[in-house]
Structure 1
Amino acid sequence: MLPSRGVEQPFLAEGIPVPQGHFAVLDDRLDFALLDTDFPITLALLQARTEELLADHACEADADIRRGHRVTGLTEHPGEVIVAVAAAYVVGCDGTRSTVRAAAGIDFPDTSASVYGWIGDVVLTDPPSAGSYSRATADGLLLAVPLPGGLHRLAGHSPGDVRADHPGELTLGELRAKVTAIDGRDFGMHSPAWLSRFSNARRQATRYRRGRVLLAGDAAHTHMPAGGVGLNVGLQDAMNLGWQLGAVVRGEAPDDLLDTYHDEGHPVGAELLEHTQAQTALMTAFTPDGRRLRSLLSTLIAEQPTFARALAEPLSGLSVRYPFRLLHAGRPVLLDFRDEPGPATPGAVVHHGRPLGDRPDWAALDTALIRPDGHSADVTPRGEPDQHP
C-alpha cells in the first residue's frame, strides 16, 4: 500500500527489515520470499513512528491534523454529523474504546479474555543473534525482535498467563523472571521504554457503517496482536475507505458506494480474528501434546511451501501486485491490454500495454479496471465489448 502512493522510502530508511514472518511463533519461520511482492519482509518499526510518518504525508497533502482533542460524543442529523463541528461524514479511528462507535450505537460484541501475554521494549546488553529470535518450552514462549533506536521487543506467554483475570501492571522484574524461566537468561535487559500486557479478547463491530458514521482500525476490530496483522488491516481499512469517501464527497460516486466498505472489510476483519485466535491456541499449547502439535505444524511450514504461503499471505495482507507508480495519484487505473487503445475512461489513469510476462492469467483480458486501493474492480475478457463507463 505504501509504494502504491509512493511513500515507502521513509519507512524503509528507518525500519529494520526481517525477511520472515511467523505463525504462532513456531520454530520454522515463514519465508516471505514465497510472496508475490517487491518487499518480501517484515519491517520492524514502532507504531508511534509509523503514525508520525503517515502524519507527515497527510500534512504534505494539506490535511488538517489537530492533536489533543478528545471526542466525548456526537449527534447525527440529516446531512451532517455534529462532533463540536459539522462534518459531512465522521470516521471513528479512536481505538478499541471508541467514543465514536459507542455514540453511533454500533454494537461491538466481545469474546472475553482467557489469556494474557506480556510485552516489553527494552535495551539488551547481551542480545540474541541478529534478527528475530524465538524460544518455546514447557515454561512458556518468547519472541525477541530488534527495533530501531537500540531497543528489542520481548513478547510472549507463560503457563500462568492462561487466566481470565487481569494480572496487573507488568514490571521489569516480572518480565526478567518470565524470560529467564523460558530461555535461562535475561539478555541483560534494562531501561524499559514500554511495558504492557495484551489479551486474546476478540471483538468486531457488527457494522462498519451506520449512516454518516464509519469505523476503521481498532475501533472496528480488536484481537490479540500477532506479527503486525492488526496494523496491516487497519491501514487497509483506511485506504479502502479513503478512496471511497473521497469519491462520494467529490460527487463522483453515489453515497451507497460506502456500503461496500463494510461488505468488503468485515469479512477481512473476521478472518483476521480467526487467524489470531488460532495462533493464541498454538502459542499457549504448553502441554506435551500441544508442543507436539506445534512441532507438526512447524515441520509442515518447512517442508510444504504451499502450506507456508497459505499462512504467509493473510499475515502479510498481500494477494496481488500492480504497477505501483500508476496508483500514486490515488485515482482508478484502467489497464488497457488491447493492441489499439479504446476510448478514454473519465476520472481514471489509463495505462496501455501488454500484461506482465509473469502474470499469464492477464493474457486472457482486454482491460482491467483497478480501484485506487489496488484491488481489481472489473475486467473485460479478450474480444468482449468494453463495459467500462
Structure 2
Amino acid sequence: MARDVIVVGAGPVGLMTAGELRLRGVDVVVYERLPAPTRQSRGASFTKRTAECFDQRGLLDRLGDTEPADSHFGGVPIDLGMLAEDHYGHRGVSQFRTERMLEDWVGELGVPVLRGWEVTGLRQSDDGVVVAVDGPDGAAEESAAYLVGCDGGRSTVRKLAGIGFPGTDGRRGFLTADVTGIDTRKRRIGENLPGGSMVMAMDLENGVTRVVVHEAGTPPPRDRDSLAYSDLADAWQRLTGESIHHGQCRWISCFTDASRAAAEYRRGRVFLAGDAAHVQPPAMAQGLSVGVQDAVNLGWKLAAAVKGWAPEGLLDTYHGERHPIGEQLARNARAAIELRLTGEDMDPVREVVGELLAHKDAAEYAAGMLSNLGIRYDLGKGDHPLLGRRMPPDRELVLADGTRARIAELLRTGRGLLVTTDGTTADGHDRTDRLDVVTGTWATAPGSAPEPALDAVLVRPDGYVAWTSPGTADGLAEALDRWFGTGQPLSSRPRP
C-alpha cells in the first residue's frame, strides 16, 4: 500500500516534518539508517524563531528549562537589550533532548519511525516515488506520493535525486565533545585566541559541558572514528594552559567550516530539508534551527498537495522561500568564520563591525538574520509592516467569551488562521479543513506602544502573514485562493 509521504531521517528536521504532515492527516512514515537514537548532540541551542515554531505546536514547554542565548556575529557581540523585540535564542538544549521531545510528539500522532533502514535507491515518476531500502528484514521497496530527504549533510536522497550541492570545502577543523566532571570557565559565544584559534565552553543539562576547540593551522581530521578525547584535551591545554584531561567524555566528534546550499530544494516529487539542503559549521548555531523552519514551511504545503487542495504553484514556493535562506546561511557562515578565525590581521575589521553593531539599526538587522525574526517572504503587495513576516506569536486576542488567546495557541491545529476584529468574513467558500476563523479584539498591555492598525489578518499555518486589512493591495478572496485554494461554496453544502 502506497504512503502519502516518506521522510528519510529521524533527526529533529525529519521528525518535525513528519509531525507537521501527520497533524494534517497525512499518512507518513520515517525511515532512519541508525538502529537507535544517538546521544550525540551536534546542536545545543536554537534561535528565537525556532522556539516560536515549537510554541506554535505546543512543543516548547516540553523541552523544560532553557537559558537565554546571547547573539554575536563572528565573535563580535550584539547587544540584544537595545532592541524593542526579544531576539534571544535558547541555549543549553542538547540535540538529543530535542529529538526525544519530537519523537514523543510524532509517536503520539501515530507516525511510525522505522529504525535500522537505509535508503539504497529511488526512482520517481509523474505519479509518485519508489524508495528502495535495506534493513532488518532485508531489502524492500516502498512507494509514496512524495519523498522528503532529511538525512543530513551527506544526504543519500540528495545524491540519488541528482541535486547539486555547491559551496565551499572545509579548510579549518574543529573538535567538539560533551564532558562531565570539569569546571572550566564558561565561554558561551567562544573566545578568540592569538593566531586565529578559538575555544568555547557552555553548559548543557545534568552537569554536562559542551567544549569546542579550533587550533589554527590544524587540518580537519580525516577519520572521525579514530578521535580520542585526549586529542581535544591536549589542544585545549596548549591553547588555554588549563587541563581538562580528568573529564569524562560522553561523546566526541569533529567538523569543518564547509558551507553549502543545495541547488534545488525540490526536484519533482523529492524535497530536501535541513542539513540535506544546507550545511554550515555547528558553531554558527543555525543548522538545526533553519532546518526546523524548513520543515514548518514545507509540511503544510505538502499536506495541501496530498489532500488535493493545494493551489497551483504552492509546492514551488518551498524552494522559492527557503532556498534564499539557505544561501544566506552559507554566506553568513563563511563571513563569520573568516571574521572570527583569520587572526590579528582581521582586528581592524572586527573593530569596524563592532562599531557598526553598536548602532541600533545595524544591530537589529544582524540580530534579525541570526534570530530568523528578520525573515520576510514575498507574500503580496502592500505596506503593512507585518505582511510577509511572522505574526508575533505572543500577541493576544480577546475572544467573544472574554478569554484571551495567544496567536501561537490559535495555530496549534496546524491550520491557517483568519483573525477578524471588524466583522471581515471569508469569501463564501468553506475551508474549515484548512483554515480557522476567529473573531475578537486585540489585547493591549498598559503602557505598551501602539501596534500598526490590523482589523483583520490572514496567517499561514507556518505563522507568516499572507494578508492584512488595512495594508495589503490584494483582497482577502485573492489571498485565500493563493494560499488556501478554492473551497466548496457554502451555498452548495448539504443542509443538515
SS at match of 2:121: coil
Question: C-alpha offsets along residues 303-330 of structure 1, whole Å, 9 cap, x if unaligned?
Answer: 3333333222222222441321111000
Cα 1:382/1:289, change in 2 over 3 Å: closer
Q: For the Cα contact (< 8 Å) 2:220–2:255, is it kept in 1?
A: no
1:225 deviates by 1.9
Q: Which residue of 1 aligns with 2:204?
A: 147
Q: Which amino acid aligns with 1:312?
A: A
Q: For the Cα contact (< 8 Å) 1:170–1:196, is it kept in 2?
A: yes
Q: Which amino acid aligns with 2:66?
A: I
1:382 deviates by 6.5
Q: Which residue of 1 aligns with 2:258?
A: 201
Q: Which residue of 2 aligns with 1:342?
A: 425
Distance 1:173 1:87 in 2: 47
Q: Which residue of 1 aligns with 2:104?
A: 56
Cα 1:266/1:146, change in 2 over 3 Å: same
Q: Which amino acid aligns with 2:250?
A: A
Question: C-alpha offsets along residues 232-263 of structure 1, whole Å, 9 cap, x if unaligned?
Answer: 10000111110111111111214631111000
Q: For the Cα contact (< 8 Å) 2:356–2:362, is it kept in 1?
A: yes
Question: C-alpha offsets along residues 86-141 of structure 1, whole Å, 9 cap, x if unaligned?
Answer: 10101011111111111112122242222112212112432325x83642221521
1:106 and 2:163 correspond: yes
Question: C-alpha offsets along residues 133-179 of structure 1, whole Å, 9 cap, x if unaligned?
Answer: 64222152111110112111111322213x47848754322212322
Q: Which amino acid aligns with 1:269?
A: G
Q: For the Cα contact (< 8 Å) 1:176–1:189, is it kept in 2?
A: no
Q: Which residue of 1 aligns with 2:58?
A: 6
Question: C-alpha offsets along residues 47-68 of structure 1, whole Å, 9 cap, x if unaligned?
Answer: 1221111111111112121111
Distance 1:382 1:239 in 2: 26
Q: Which amino acid aligns with 2:456?
A: T
1:16 and 2:34 correspond: no
Distance 2:265 2:443 in 1: 36
Question: C-alpha offsets along residues 21-51 of structure 1, whole Å, 9 cap, x if unaligned?
Answer: 332233x3553773734x8332321112211
* 1:102-181 equivalences in 2 (<5 Å): 102-128=159-185, 132=188, 134-139=190-195, 140-161=197-218, 163=219, 166=222, 169-181=226-238
Q: Which amino acid aligns with 1:138?
A: P
Worse overlay, 254-263 or 71-80: 254-263
Q: Which amino acid aligns with 2:67?
A: P
Aligned length: 379
Worse overlay, 230-239 or 105-114: 105-114
SS at match of 1:203: strand
1:188 deviates by 5.8
Q: For the Cα contact (< 8 Å) 1:128–1:187, is it kept in 2?
A: no
Distance 1:213 1:383 in 2: 34
1:267 and 2:324 correspond: yes
Distance 1:55 1:123 in 2: 26
Q: Which residue of 1 aligns with 2:292?
A: 235
Cα 1:203/1:367, change in 2 over 3 Å: same
Distance 2:130 2:472 in 1: 51
Worse overlay, 89-98 or 176-185: 176-185
TM-score for both structures, normalised by structure 2: 0.70
Cα 1:202/1:70, change in 2 over 3 Å: same
SS at match of 2:413: coil
Q: Which amino acid aligns with 1:349?
A: D
Cα 1:382/1:199, change in 2 over 3 Å: closer
Q: For the Cα contact (< 8 Å) 1:122–1:153, is it kept in 2?
A: yes
Distance 1:277 1:246 in 2: 35
SS at match of 2:201: strand
Structure 2, unmatched stretches of 5+, are 1-52, 132-140, 375-389, 394-406, 481-496
Q: Which residue of 2 aligns with 1:249?
A: 306
What's the % identity of the aligned pairs? 34
Alpha carbon RMSD of aligned pairs, Å? 2.6
Distance 1:281 1:199 in 2: 13
Cα 1:115/1:48, change in 2 over 3 Å: same
Q: For the Cα contact (< 8 Å) 1:20–1:32, is it kept in 2?
A: no
SS at match of 1:182: helix
Q: For the Cα contact (< 8 Å) 1:229–1:317, is it kept in 2?
A: no
Selected match of 1:221 from 265, 268, 278: 278
Q: For the Cα contact (< 8 Å) 2:424–2:456, is it kept in 1?
A: no
1:228 deviates by 2.0
Structure 1, unmatched stretches of 5+, are none
Distance 2:411 2:341 in 1: 42
SS at match of 2:452: helix
1:362 and 2:362 correspond: no
Q: Which amino acid aligns with 1:22?
A: H
Q: Which residue of 1 aligns with 2:15?
A: none
SS at match of 2:467: strand
